Copies of this chain bind each other. A is one copy, B any other.
Amino acid sequence: MKDGMLINPVRAVELFHALADQTRLQILDELKGGERCVCELMDCLEAGQSRLSFHLKVLKDAGMIVDRREGRWMYYAVNTEAFAELDALVDSFTHTKRTSRAPTRC
C-alpha cells in the first residue's frame, strides 16, 4: 500500500466491522486455504445457506473477498489487496507517533 496514504475512519470502521464476527473470521480462515464455493463453506462451517450468504455479502461489500461464478457455483476467495490495506491501517495505528502533549485538565 502507498506509504503515507491515510485510510479514512469510515473505511476503517467498515474493515474492522467486517472482521468483528466469529462466522466471518471462520470464512476467511477457510478461504486462506484457497477459493471455495458456498456449498463447501456451508459444509465446513455448518452454517445455513442464507446465513452464509449474508456474511459473504458483508465481507464482499467490505472488499475482503472476491467472487467468481462458474456455472451454478459461486467461488469466493480472499482479496489480498484488502489484507494489505488492513495491514497498513493497523501499522498506521501502531506506529503513528504524534507530538505527545501533556493532558489538559478540565
Residues B106 and A40 in contact, CB atoms below 8 Å apart:
yes
- Give 1 or 0 for each of A81-106: 1 = CB within 8 Å of chain B CB: 00110110011011011111111111
Residues B26 and A9 in contact, CB atoms below 8 Å apart:
yes
Judged by a CB distance under 8 angstroms, whether A73 is at the interface is yes
Enumerate the 3 nearest inter-chain pairs by beta-carbon distance, A residue then B residue, closest first: A39-B106, A17-B20, A16-B20
Q: How large is the interface on A (under 10, 10 to 19, 20 to 34, 35 or more residues)?
A: 35 or more
A45 cross-chain contacts in B, Cβ below 8 A = none
Interface residues of A in 52-106 (CB under 8 A from B): 73, 75, 83-84, 86-87, 90-91, 93-94, 96-106
A102 cross-chain contacts in B, Cβ below 8 A = 34
